[in-house]
């Protein structure tokens, strides 16, 4: 390990902040939230502010918190090690950087309750919680309790945030709605908005990132591109369109009349099993352009209370097998199956997959990452610049068409959907989409809303 005293003299170049980052670097409120949208240069600003404070106040103790260790490493530790190489010493065993002037930056994560216990006894002067909306208010309060101590160093708490996440509600309350409760002093809170468009460095190196945000349906685009905190309510798949005569043009609709599937198209089967709830088995045909069509659906309830089991697993899978051996679109074809990974779970007795195997119905495990999965569903549903989506539903698939537009946003995790609703087809759709992920489609120029000056809308930004 290197000793501070042996460090050679080296010039530190931190780079140039953009105007929003500069506001963040200069802000002296006790609580400062920075962000509002994705890719605004938040983590960069956290690192630079932590380094500036370390030099400005010799002996200060700073902590940077992120939810998981891999995120902490890839967003902060790696960059800080590089930035401060030869100037300060990083110790992996303690995950701390020590400066020759005695200042220390601690890197900490908090993925579960056990990690939270580690904060007890830690005392710091300045805390940065990066992506604070990934924490619940209770977790945030426990981490915040580390900011204490009797010395003359400033005591500050910095948060970076995007709309969405389990902490959406408390961050919005404190910094956007500015509704305070007893013990909270309004003058101590400041909010600085930064949008991805403020991050010229990223816009230059990764213009695709903007394209991805623009391809989102309006509510998510408003949240992640424009930094709107009021949007996670109402219909989850707001882009879903069922235009009765849509089959004539197939433009700006997702629901079409069935047609005979060319034999050459690939067939997929996605499946979501509900314990005591509906199951959804969905057959998709994919054309030469990668466009998917929901062609057939088997949907039913696995167990109706007081009526006995209607659709026990063997009946479901033997029916799936029958359809696949008899239906003209499916018989004789190779079918790629993907299913809810929980059907491999044997902790409640025989795993459901055993019944599938027994009936010659085979599946790969679906990817159950929810938010990336919903993104894939949104990318598929998005209309391209000519009004064509990457997924259509035959109007005979009534459970899909009925349930998809009914789903609502979750109140608990704002950018997820409310899982207490009939989301079985949606889950099956998600497994299918994740098995064949696509890039977001190109949008029309007119959708570029980000040129508006956000300051006109957000007079409460700390300027």
Where along the sequence are the contacts to ligand ADP (CB under 6 A)? 15-18, 21, 38-44, 199, 201-202
Closer by beta carbon to Mg ion, 42 or else 430: 42
Residue 214, both tokens:
């623009």
The binder of 202, among Mg ion, ligand ADP, none, by C-beta within 5 to 8 A per type, is ligand ADP
B/e letters for 165-200, b = 16+ CB within 10 Å, e = fewer, are: bbbbbbbbbbbbeeeeeeeeeeeebbbbbbbbbbbe
Closer by beta carbon to Mg ion, 161 or else 255: 161
Closer by beta carbon to ligand ADP, 38 or else 168: 38
Q: Is 302 in the site for Mg ion (CB under 5 A)?
A: no
**Residue whose pair of structure tokens reads 């167990």 in the numeric block:** 303
CB of 140: closest distance to Mg ion in angstroms? 17
Residue 38 · residue 18 · CB < 8 Å? no
CB of 77: closest distance to Mg ion in angstroms? 13
SS3 133: helix
CB of 126: closest distance to ligand ADP in angstroms? 18
The binder of 40, among ligand ADP, Mg ion, none, by C-beta within 5 to 8 A per type, is ligand ADP
**Segment interacting with Mg ion, rule: CB under 5 A, options 37-45, 146-154, 387-395, 415-423:** 37-45
The binder of 15, among Mg ion, ligand ADP, none, by C-beta within 5 to 8 A per type, is ligand ADP
d(CA 317, CA 343): 13
Closer by beta carbon to ligand ADP, 194 or else 342: 194
The binder of 18, among Mg ion, ligand ADP, none, by C-beta within 5 to 8 A per type, is ligand ADP
The binder of 44, among ligand ADP, Mg ion, none, by C-beta within 5 to 8 A per type, is ligand ADP
CB neighbour class for 44 (10 Å; exposed up to 12, middle 13-18, buried from 19)? buried
The binder of 41, among ligand ADP, Mg ion, none, by C-beta within 5 to 8 A per type, is ligand ADP
Closer by beta carbon to Mg ion, 72 or else 413: 72
Q: Is 410 in the site for Mg ion (CB under 5 A)?
A: no
Closest CA to 285 of 169, 199, 393, 411: 393
The binder of 199, among ligand ADP, Mg ion, none, by C-beta within 5 to 8 A per type, is ligand ADP
Q: Is 199 in the site for Mg ion (CB under 5 A)?
A: no
Closer by beta carbon to Mg ion, 67 or else 144: 67
Residue 33, both tokens:
């939230």
The DSSP symbol for 332 reads: T
**Residue whose pair of structure tokens reads 């996440």 in the numeric block:** 165
Closest CA to 56 of 22, 102, 21, 90: 102
SS3 205: helix
Q: Is 190 in the site for Mg ion (CB under 5 A)?
A: no
**Segment interacting with Mg ion, rule: CB under 5 A, options 40-48, 161-169, 229-237, 409-417:** 40-48
C-alpha distances in Å from residue 99, one per residue of 53, 59, 61, 84, 362: 11, 9, 11, 9, 58
DSSP β-ladder status, 266-272 and 335-339: parallel
Closer by beta carbon to Mg ion, 72 or else 295: 72
d(CA 109, CA 119): 10
CB of 429: closest distance to ligand ADP in angstroms? 29
Q: Is 133 in the site for Mg ion (CB under 5 A)?
A: no
The binder of 197, among ligand ADP, Mg ion, none, by C-beta within 5 to 8 A per type, is none
**Segment interacting with Mg ion, rule: CB under 5 A, options 41-49, 143-151, 270-278, 307-315:** 41-49
Reading across the β-sheet that carries 189-194, which strands appear in turn? 89-91, 96-98, 104-109, 61-66, 126-129, 156-161, 31-36, 189-194
Q: Is 43 in the site for Mg ion (CB under 5 A)?
A: yes
CB of 35: closest distance to ligand ADP in angstroms? 6
d(CA 461, CA 463): 6
d(CA 202, CA 180): 35
CB of 38: closest distance to Mg ion in angstroms? 9
Closer by beta carbon to ligand ADP, 3 or else 11: 11
CB of 366: closest distance to Mg ion in angstroms? 29
Cβ-proximal residue to Mg ion, closest one:
43
Closest CA to 237 of 395, 389, 439: 389
Interface residues toward Mg ion, by CB under 5 A: 42-43
């Amino acid at each position: 390990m290197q000793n501070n005293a042996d460090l050679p003299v080296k010039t530190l170049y931190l780079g140039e902040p953009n105007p929003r980052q500069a506001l963040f670097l200069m802000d002296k409120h006790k609580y400062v939230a920075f962000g509002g949208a994705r890719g605004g240069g938040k983590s960069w600003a956290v690192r630079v502010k932590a380094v500036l404070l370390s030099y400005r106040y010799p002996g200060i103790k700073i902590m940077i918190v992120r939810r998981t260790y891999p995120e902490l490493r890839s967003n902060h530790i790696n960059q800080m090690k590089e930035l401060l190489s030869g100037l300060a010493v990083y110790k992996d065993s303690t995950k701390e950087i020590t400066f020759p002037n005695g200042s220390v930056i601690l890197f900490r994560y908090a993925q579960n309750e056990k990690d939270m216990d580690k904060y007890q006894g830690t005392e710091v002067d300045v805390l940065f919680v990066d992506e604070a909306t990934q924490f619940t208010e209770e977790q945030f309060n426990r981490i915040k309790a580390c900011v204490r101590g009797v010395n003359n160093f400033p005591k500050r708490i910095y948060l970076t945030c995007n709309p969405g996440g389990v902490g959406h509600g408390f961050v919005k309350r404190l910094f956007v709605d500015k509704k305070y409760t007893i013990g909270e002093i309004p003058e101590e809170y400041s909010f600085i908005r930064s949008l991805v468009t403020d991050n010229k460095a990223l816009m230059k190196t990764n213009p695709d990132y903007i394209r991805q945000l623009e391809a989102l349906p309006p509510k998510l685009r408003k949240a992640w591109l424009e930094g709107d905190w009021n949007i996670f309510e109402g219909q989850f798949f707001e882009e879903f369109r069922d235009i009765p005569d849509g089959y004539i043009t197939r433009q700006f609709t997702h629901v079409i009349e069935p047609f005979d599937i060319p034999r050459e198209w690939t067939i997929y089967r996605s499946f979501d099993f509900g314990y005591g709830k509906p199951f959804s088995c969905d057959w998709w045909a994919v054309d030469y352009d990668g466009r998917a069509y929901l062609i057939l659906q088997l949907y039913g309830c696995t167990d109706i209370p007081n009526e006995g089991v209607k659709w026990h697993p063997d009946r479901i899978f033997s029916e799936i097998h029958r359809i696949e051996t008899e239906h003209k679109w499916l018989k004789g074809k190779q079918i790629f199956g993907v299913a809810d990974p929980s059907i491999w779970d044997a902790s409640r007795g025989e795993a459901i997959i055993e019944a599938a195997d027994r009936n010659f119905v085979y599946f790969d495990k679906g990817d159950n990452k929810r938010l990336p999965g919903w993104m894939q569903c949104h990318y598929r549903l998005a209309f391209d610049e000519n009004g064509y989506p990457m997924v259509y539903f035959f109007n005979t698939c009534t459970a899909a068409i009925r349930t998809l537009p009914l789903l609502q946003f979750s109140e608990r995790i704002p950018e997820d959907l409310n899982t207490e609703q009939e989301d079985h087809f949606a889950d099956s759709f998600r497994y299918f989409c994740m098995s064949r992920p696509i890039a977001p489609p190109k949008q029309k120029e007119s959708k570029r809303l980000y040129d508006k000056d956000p300051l006109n809308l957000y007079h409460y930004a700390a300027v």
